[in-house]
Amino acid sequence: MNAESRARLNQTPEWTALAAHREQLGEVRLRDLFAADPTRGTAYTLHVGDLHIDYSKHLVTGETLTLLRDLAAATDVFGLRDAMFRGEKINTTEDRAVLHTALRAPRDAVVMVDGENVVPAVHAVLDRMSAFSEKIRSGEWTGHTGKRIKNIVNVGIGGSDLGPAMAYEALRSFTDRDLTIRFVSNVDGADLHEAVRDLDAAETLFVIASKTFTTIETITNATSARDWLLTELKAGQDAVAQHFVALSTNAEKVSEFGIDTANMFEFWDWVGGRYSFDSAIGLSLMIAIGPDRFREMLDGFHLVDKHFRAAPPESNVPLLLGLLGVWYGNFHDAQSHAVLPYSHYLSKFTAYLQQLDMESNGKYVDRDGQEVDWQTGPVVWGTPGTNGQHAYYQLIHQGTKLIPADFIGFAEPVAGLAPGLVAQHDLLMANFFAQTQALAFGKTPDEVRAEGVPQELVPHKTFKGNHPTTTILAKELTPSVLGQLIALYEHKVFVQGALWNIDSFDQWGVELGKVLAKRVEPALTEGAEVPDLDGSTTALVAKYRDLRGR
């Protein structure tokens, strides 16, 4: 769509109507909204798959939601959604289709890209991954010396690390405890060092995950891993085949590196890096949880895909979550969004979402290359909630910033806990419910005074409340539920990018730093000429060389 055919977002009547509505609502109080509508706690809920979504504690009325949906209609969010599912090249700056949804399509589905149905190829790779995973899990695949593989080290970064690393943590209770699974991403040599120092090379498989197979951090770590392996095994290049597999779109680079393409699991350029962990990039996870559970996870993704595609606007959960983010970011000047899981197993979930959301929607120009004059993606942050309560929740409760937050919790503890630990689950969840209650309704000065608090402390002990939250509750954290959760956030991010008219599927903003690192690196070596850097960087490089005695 070009600039002429689409009005500037903030000049549309729908945007103006929302701005006027925001003025008119003023400082709407959640206490008042609940008092006015006793059914709000059940009426403002939606379901998708196993997920129960409560959005009653948001600073919205029925009219707000209608106006937000009008904005989504005016910006044709669903039109772009349909184009994505049809395989159109909606990633315009890279001229690519965006089809992570095809990765979890059932075997008999048809998804066309450039005149070809891609679903058979997706399932062919899944079948190869399954067969390979089973060989590792059963011990049929052995290392160069004939020993069974017991350790898997995934080497990748960004989308080739965060997804599988997060999902491995999330589904730890479903993993095969006999296998050690580690993730190496940082080019800091300490990462690989710590990952392999207690491993027997003869029992170790390296999974080199890189869509492009050119990412400097990954190729450097993979090269060091190969050196470590060959040194430890006192073996030659022929040992590589049993100890290295590649996950990539780039067969040429894989074979240049020395990995037999027979040991490569393929995916395609219509899978974005941050949308890739249900592709071959999930191999380490599949080895850990087994192919059946991996497929259950894909079915969970697919369930939410179908919902996003078919549910009407009033009950479409990704649409709702996307629009709530727009409401706060664009009409309340909220800068950030907290995601606070009440599950130890989701400890890496927010880090994963940071790439998904911030790399997708951290854009300052629209699809036509024009600078936007509205806010785009929020700063996404958070850690498991209970730990956060004793650290940064103070600022959410009593600070000066508006921080909308998602609370994610589960009715059941994971299987396998000792009875005493199972009993702790209610305490965890009591905190989960209490926090959103405290955030929404706070504590008035009168309530504080009624407790006999001296007047000078009353302001300190007052909670203004009115901090908006979404509660996402499910029975338990299963592979399917994890897939559902991730697809929900993927599509939420999609909704926002579509509405803001930005390309959520490129990431040009990561390139400049890579180019400059290449230029700076030679200057760090002893005796090297310092190239033409800016004043600050030249001084810092000189200081670095001085500290290192170069």
Ligand X SMILES: O=P(O)(O)OC[C@H]1O[C@H](O)[C@H](O)[C@@H](O)[C@@H]1O
CA 81, CA 99: separation in Å to the nearest integer?
A: 11
Q: Which of 265, 248, 244, 243 is nearest to 213 (CA)?
A: 248
CA 129, CA 443: separation in Å to the nearest integer?
A: 54
Binding mask 184-213 for ligand X (x = CB under 6 A): --------------------------xxx-
Catalytic-labelled residue, pool 27, 234, 371, 390: 390
Q: Give 362 or 445: the residue with its C-beta nearer to ligand X.
A: 362
Q: Give 249 or 343: the residue with its C-beta nearer to ligand X.
A: 249
Q: Give 272 or 322: the residue with its C-beta nearer to ligand X.
A: 272
Interface pick for ligand X out of 154, 204, 215, 496 (rule CB under 6 A) = 215
Binding mask 250-289 for ligand X (x = CB under 6 A): -----------------------xx---------------
256 is catalytic: no
Q: Give 87 or 159: the residue with its C-beta nearer to ligand X.
A: 159
253 is catalytic: no
- Position 487, amino acid: A
Helix (H) or strand (E) holding 441: helix 419-441
Distance from the Cα of residue 125 to its chain's centroid: 23
Distance from the Cα of residue 332 to its chain's centroid: 24
Q: Which of 274, 200, 173 is nearest to 486 (CA)?
A: 274
CB of 271 to ligand X, least distance (A): 10
* In contact, 164 and 273? CB cutoff 8 Å: no
- Residue entry with tokens 């580690």: 182
Q: Give 159 or 413: the residue with its C-beta nearer to ligand X.
A: 159
Q: Give 92 or 212: the residue with its C-beta nearer to ligand X.
A: 212
14: left (phi over 0), alpha (psi -120 to 50) or beta: alpha
Q: How many residues bind ligand X (CB under 6 A)?
A: 14
Q: Give 222 or 408: the residue with its C-beta nearer to ligand X.
A: 222
* In contact, 484 and 49? CB cutoff 8 Å: yes
Interface pick for ligand X out of 113, 157, 477, 499 (rule CB under 6 A) = 157
User: What are the backbone dihedrals phi and psi of residue 35, each rounded to the nearest 5 degrees, phi first?
Assistant: -65, -35
- Position 528, amino acid: A
Binders of ligand X among 307-366, rule CB under 6 A?
359
Q: Which of 467, 352, 358, 326 is nearest to 406 (CA)?
A: 467
Burial class (CB in 10 A: 0-12, 13-18, 19+), 272: buried
Interface pick for ligand X out of 49, 87, 143, 158 (rule CB under 6 A) = 158
Interface pick for ligand X out of 75, 343, 383, 507 (rule CB under 6 A) = 507
Provide the 3-class DSSP secondary structure of residue 196.
helix
CB of 267 to ligand X, least distance (A): 10
Binders of ligand X among 70-129, rule CB under 6 A?
none
- Residue entry with tokens 């991954």: 129
Binders of ligand X among 510-529, rule CB under 6 A?
510
CB of 206 to ligand X, least distance (A): 15
CB of 226 to ligand X, least distance (A): 17
Per CB under 6 A, the segment of 157-165, 169-177, 255-263, 365-373 that binds ligand X is 157-165
Task: Label each residue of 385-432 as H, E or C.
Answer: HHHHHCCCHHHHHHCCCCCCEEEEEECCCCCCCCHHHHHHHHHHHHHH
Q: Which of 54, 43, 59, 58 is nearest to 471 (CA)?
A: 54
Per CB under 6 A, the segment of 154-162, 176-184, 442-450, 516-524 that binds ligand X is 154-162
203 is catalytic: no
CB of 276 to ligand X, least distance (A): 7
Write down the number of H helices and E strands in the chain.
Answer: 24, 13
Per CB under 6 A, the segment of 38-46, 60-68, 153-161, 338-346 that binds ligand X is 153-161
Catalytic-labelled residue, pool 193, 401, 514, 518: 514
Q: Give 164 or 468: the residue with its C-beta nearer to ligand X.
A: 164
Binding mask 160-179 for ligand X (x = CB under 6 A): x-------------------
Distance from the Cα of residue 126 to its chain's centroid: 22
CB of 493 to ligand X, least distance (A): 13
Per CB under 6 A, the segment of 101-109, 156-164, 222-230, 480-488 that binds ligand X is 156-164
* In contact, 482 and 297? CB cutoff 8 Å: yes
Q: Give 137 or 211: the residue with its C-beta nearer to ligand X.
A: 211
Q: Give 103 or 439: the residue with its C-beta nearer to ligand X.
A: 103
CB of 536 to ligand X, least distance (A): 24
Per CB under 6 A, the segment of 152-160, 319-327, 340-348, 429-437 that binds ligand X is 152-160
Q: Give 211 or 467: the residue with its C-beta nearer to ligand X.
A: 211
- Position 116, amino acid: E
Alpha-helix residue ranges (DSSP H) falling in 139-239: 162-170, 189-196, 216-233
CB of 154 to ligand X, least distance (A): 12
Task: Label each residue of 206-230 as H, E or C.
Answer: EEEECCCCCCHHHHHHHHHHHHHHH
Catalytic-labelled residue, pool 307, 359, 363, 397: 359
CA dist 487 → 97, 289, 350 (Å) = 18, 19, 14
- Residue entry with tokens 């490569």: 264
CB of 220 to ligand X, least distance (A): 11
CB of 156 to ligand X, least distance (A): 6
CB of 519 to ligand X, least distance (A): 17
Interface pick for ligand X out of 101, 185, 218, 330 (rule CB under 6 A) = 218
DSSP for 471-528 reads EEEES---HHHHHHHHHHHHHHHHHHHHHHT--TT--GGGHHHHHHHHHHGGGGSTTP
Burial class (CB in 10 A: 0-12, 13-18, 19+), 277: buried
Q: Provide the annotated active-site residues.
A: 359, 390, 514
Using CB under 6 A, list all residues that contact ligand X. Answer: 157-160, 210-212, 215, 218, 273-274, 359, 507, 510
